[in-house]
Copies of this chain bind each other. A is one copy, B any other.
Amino acid sequence: LMIDKLAEKARKNSAVCVGLDTDYSYLPDYIRNADLSVANKIFAFNEAIINATGDLAACYKVQIAYYEALGLAGMEAYARTLAYLRSQGLLVIADVKRSDIASTAGKYAQGHFSGDFEADFVTLNPYMGYDSISPFESYLANGKGIFVLVRTSNPSASDFEELQVDGEPLYMAIAKKASQWGQAYIGDNGFTSIGAVVGINHTSEIALIKDAMPNAFFLIPGYGAQGGSGDMASPFFQDGICGVVNSSRGIICAHLKEHIDKGFEQAARKAVLEMREDLEKWL
């Protein structure tokens, strides 16, 4: 199971998930000015970051929105990035947050678990209920994994996720359902292939969420540019590593802060090393 491999990499390398949310404006000048297609420029950037960080990271999260923003050229860069990661034996989470009725969700499952856009894991939005998740299950049997949005890191997560349902917030109802869905897919490490997205900023809520999802592995966004830091990961990891912490801009934009053009990938490597150290302080 991919979730077993992910848990092992998180233990061996670090809990760092490198977010390849690659905006064209992040590219160093020498790549932007190169005689390459837009798709090849984006891919060249990602490839260098991947090569410079593969031994340090648990996995990579590719945020498809940044690629959709660039149209067909972006989708080509997206496909090449996922294929390259998988060819290197690295694990990739497609951050797609898809949701739809069952017949349509089945098409998303096909699209993101096979063919040009094949990933190891996808993120899914649960608002539409189990129908929007179940079509992905046939791929779980083959080792793939999913992360259900439970408690997101953005400010307006409060709009609906915190609404009280039977005396507890909505996200707890979702955490409990997702935990039930995951019981059929528990691997050797005790983690289920149906994990959860919980923002690093929800430090006071994580204990209850973990109680409700004892077999969940967590995808934890919000580190770095979004304001999260290593100490905020400690409530997640006090009983051992049970998730990966994503940083995107903090890693792939590290060269911009230091005004580095050539050698940008070493700035990314340094950022991953610093993040690993920051997280390890709290393990």
Contacts and interface: CB of A to CB of B under 8 A. Distances in A.
A165 B159 contact: no
Interface in A186-210: none
Contacts of A226: 101
Contacts of A155: 131
A129 B160 contact: yes
Count of identical protomers in the assembly? 2
B156 A71 contact: no
Given A158-B129, A165-B163, A111 B71 contact: yes
Contacts of A18: none
B156 A129 contact: yes
B127 A160 contact: yes
Contacts of A157: 128-129, 131
Given A66-B107, A127-B149, A177 B159 contact: yes
Contacts of A75: 72, 75
A107 B68 contact: yes
A124 to B, nearest CB: 10
B154 A102 contact: yes
Contact of A68 (B72, B117, B126): B117
A2 interface: no
13 contacts: A65-B105, A65-B111, A71-B79, A71-B117, A72-B72, A72-B75, A97-B98, A97-B99, A99-B127, A101-B226, A131-B154, A159-B177, A165-B170
